[in-house]
Each structure stands twice: as structure tokens, then as C-alpha cells.
Amino acid sequence: MKPRLTLAEHVELGRTLAHVRDELIHRSVQLANAYPKSGPEGVPGQLLTKALDAVDKARSELENALFREHSNEAETSVYYPPRENQR
């Protein structure tokens, strides 16, 4: 069996994925404000939306793994940290 992520690795990955998600949202909005949402010009925005969905699914599955592997220390804030302006 392969080694699993440590709690510290989950925390680091959670922060990184939250940042990636925020950046994808920002860029998706930027494209939506600059180009049509359909047709050939809408393809990049549609692809960013798919990437955002993939990141969200990965975060969910990784959170499940975190709770399986580190049940005593796991917290939902590892993969879903509070936003900076909500602290």
C-alpha cells in the first residue's frame, strides 16, 4: 500500500487548492465579462468552469480521505478554509 498524506501535507494541499479555486473563479468572471459564454469564444470560459468543477470534486474526495486517515485531528477547514475577509 502506498503511503498516505500526512496531516501537514493535507493542510498544505488544502490551502493550495483553495487558492487555485479562487484564481479559477476570478479568471472565469474575467472571461465572462470579456467574451460570449457560447460559441467558439466561449470555449475557454467553459473549460475553466470544468476545471473549477474538477478542483471542487478533488477537494471533496481529499476531505473524505483526510477524515478516514486522520479522524482525530481532521477539520473541515483543511480543505474549505474561511475566506480572508471572513476571519
For 50-86, write each residue's pLDDT tens digit. Answer: 999 999 999 999 999 999 999 999 999 999 998 755 4
pLDDT at 42 over 90: yes
- Per-residue pLDDT tens digits for 64-74: 999 999 999 99
> Residue 2, Cα to own-chain centre: how many angstroms?
24
Number of CB atoms found within 10 A of residue 63's CB:
18
**Model's pTM, two decimal places?**
0.89
